[in-house]
Amino acid sequence: MINLKELIAQTIYDEALGLEIADIEAMIEIPGDEKMGDYAFPCFRLAKVMRKAPQMIAADIAERIGSAEIFEKVEQVNAYVNMFINKSVFETEVIREVIAQGAEYGRTDVGNGKTVIVEYSSPNIAKPFHIGHIRSTVIGNAIYKLYDATGYNVVRINHLGDYGTQFGKMIVAYRKWGNEADLVKEPIKTLLSYYTKFHEEAEKDPSLDDEARETFARLEAGEPEEMQLWEKFREYSLAEFNRVYDMLDISFDSYAGESFFSDKMPAIVQEMRDKELLVESQGAHIVDLEPYGMTPAVILKSDGSSLYATRDIAAAIYRKNTYDFEKCIYVVASQQNLHFKQWKKVLDLMGYKWEEDCIHVPFGLVSLEEGTMSTRKGRVVFLEDVLNNAVAKTKEIMLEKNADTPELDEIAKEVGIGAVIFQELSNNRIKDYVFSWDKVLNFDGETGPYVQYTHARASSVLRNATPEELARINEGDFDASYITGDSAYSLAKLIYRIPEVIQDAAEKYEPSILTRHLVDIAQSFNKFYHDEHILVDNEDEKVAKLALVVAAKTAISNCLAILGVKSPERM
């Protein structure tokens, strides 16, 4: 794709300016008001070198570059050179590039094959996969896709919460109140009921907590009975989780959870001892972080069992040794901000300066309209129920609109699940929000279904094209001078920016940047659709307009794919 800023910089370049082409490119601005041009070049900085008023310098540059083919018009306004791009030349370049690249449009090789790890989703086994997990799951999946689209080799890790004292609680609860038949029938809901009952009973009998800690210590020591129950809980949980992942079309390269590092922690703990970092405190072993403004990082509890920090340190060292990552990105709730600062500081004190490449990407929390979710109290909204309800609601809406298609069930699934994903990725990830069925299942406004419908509309238009017309478009045989209206030009500019937007969203770990841009594209396409009569009698005009429709359809589909949302051909 043509780099407009670079081309403009090359056009402006003159030895007398005392600037290199890269310097000129960096100075080029995009005016806030489109009436002032597509690009602007400020000349204030040149006054001292050229010993001229900035306004005079701008006038000289405008006169010198005004006849370049890339420009429709060049004006001097005060100390600025305002440049209007030749719409026909620009649109031809954009449309041909999109059509030539197809599903690859928007991708770049910025990452140059370097390895990035993205850790996301990471639910606790034996606990519900609830609506709160959707944030890490879909934000993490989008970040993986953004980095994949920018040329990185991405390793997707689901760091399962399959270790810790809670499994001591679960085992104790199962032994006291559980039975195999209920567990087989509804594994997660049954385990949740045991976990809830444990906490209810522990409030009356605190000795249960001691029993749970002792049970986890035996599990960590590899006692056969505890291991057998733990493996059973893990197997049942993964089967339930994978059913939801299949609905979301999400997969992972590794399910190495906390338990995977159990045999790697002793060496890490010994390394801390050798480096004189461990201090005994009330029977536990800690790393004192008070000099760095933080509470201590507890490495071993008084009973010798490990904690989250111990396992995260072991995991980070293992991943660096195994993958030699450029970045290791952790998509984890903002509640864990201190936890990440603590164990990263321990890595730093151990001498691992690459800890700076371990990036915590926090996100806001989900609460229910009636209050905060609590697994201990059994107050959760199952993610699978949310997705199934979204699909059912979508089908209901489509039937109300008299949708007549043999793919009704499949389209309802794509749109319903897409609505949930798109809503999650629409707002800045750091914001907290209240889960509301009405908002999730609202199909009006700047939503996933709106963007999907725009894609389906473009597909419908193209179904009216003849094979000969589509062949001309694929060969680049069209005259873009037929589509230089404002709505067509605005659409082409938004499509042109997609690679830059994808890169920006990746660098900021912020999928909503792409989501918002995609809504802009959908709105712009619909304006073009309403402003222009596409299927006109003039064959050359028709082919030119259809070519822009192909580019828009491809752009929308590619961006939706990065967000993890399907692009139905019909709705």
For the chain, counts of helices (H) and of strands (E):
23, 12
Q: Which two tokens stand for residue 390?
A: 């979204």
> H/E element holding 268?
helix 265-274
Q: CB count, 10 Å around CB of 63? A: 12
One of 73, 114, 133, 169 is an active-site residue; which one?
133
- Closest of 400, 371, 548, 331 to residue 461, by C-alpha: 548
Q: Is 130 a catalytic residue?
A: yes
First to last CA, the chain: 32
- Whether residue 546 contacts residue 469, with contact meaning beta carbons closer than 8 Å, is answered with yes
284 by Cβ neighbours in 10 Å (0-12 / 13-18 / 19+) ranks as middle
- Tokens 């107050």 -> residue: 379
- Enumerate residues 6+ apart whose C-beta is below 8 A from 486: 531
CA gap 235, 257 in Å, rounded: 13
- Tokens 């008299």 -> residue: 402
Quick one: three-class SS letters along 220-251? HCCCHHHHHHHHHHHHHHHHHHHHHHHHHCCC
Q: Is 339 a catalytic residue?
A: no
- Whether residue 487 contacts residue 532, with contact meaning beta carbons closer than 8 Å, is answered with yes
Phi, psi of 518 (to 5 degrees): -65, -40
CA gap 444, 63 in Å, rounded: 49
From start to end of 396-544, where are the E strands? 433-435
CA gap 362, 431 in Å, rounded: 10
Residues in a beta bridge with 278 = 287
One of 35, 73, 114, 130 is an active-site residue; which one?
130
Q: Cα Rg for the chain, rounded, in angstroms? A: 29
Tell me how many degrees the CA angle 389-452-393 measures, rounded to the nearest 5: 20
Tell me how many degrees the CA angle 361-367-369 measures, rounded to the nearest 5: 155
Phi, psi of 128 (to 5 degrees): -65, 145
One of 35, 87, 127, 159 is an active-site residue; which one?
127
Phi, psi of 532 (to 5 degrees): -110, 140
CA gap 382, 263 in Å, rounded: 33
Q: Is 133 a catalytic residue?
A: yes
Please list the active-site residues: 127, 130, 133
